[in-house]
Amino acid sequence: MSRIGKNPVTVPAGVTLTQDGQKVSVKGSKGTLEFTMPSAVTGKLDGDIFTVVAVKNDKEGSSMWGMSRTMIANLIEGVTNGYTKSLELRGVGYRAAMKGSTLNLQLGLSHDVNYEAPEGVTIAVPKATEINVTGINKQAVGQVAAEIRSYRKPEPYKGKGIRYVGEFVRQKEGKKK
């Protein structure tokens, strides 16, 4: 039995949630998002409370129950507040700059790395060593941040690279003579 799936999702004022069979559409001040629920679960909207119910009480139904509830809660959070991931660059000469909708990264490589922001995701560079990724889709924001980070992951000896703000990178001890 899913503990997460049992909790109902409250639809705040200013957000409209519509259900058409297995398709759930959420519209808010920041935009519109859709999610198609798996066949193992169904949803029920009562006023401003949306409840997800498992069709069968088997392993698939239980796992899809909690996942579907979380996905719908993430849609509501996205259209009301949006999501932000912040990255920081550490290393001598590591810097970022925006050129239109393209992120230009100088990461100590022989060439500059250019990253084109996908539709629905906004990249901002408030400082040369800070990158903010924002959008209404949690998955897309996380994916873009992970792709940017993958160009130069933090290394364990000096800590150079691109890391999430607040991420702890354990430093290793260097070679001893």
| 177/150 Cα distance (integer angstroms) | 33
Q: Which H or E run contains 79? A: helix 59-80
Domain ranges of the chain: 3-80, 83-164
The verdict on pTM exceeding 0.85 is yes
Q: What is the pLDDT of residues 84-133, one digit of tens each?
A: 999 999 999 999 999 998 999 999 999 999 999 999 999 999 999 999 99
φ, ψ of residue 64 to 5 degrees: the values are -70, -25
Q: What is the pLDDT of residues 55-74, one digit of tens each?
A: 888 888 888 998 999 999 99
Domain 83-164: give its CATH architecture. Answer: Alpha-Beta Complex (3.90)
Domain 3-80: give its CATH architecture. Answer: Alpha-Beta Complex (3.90)
pLDDT category, 1, cuts 50, 70, 90? Answer: low
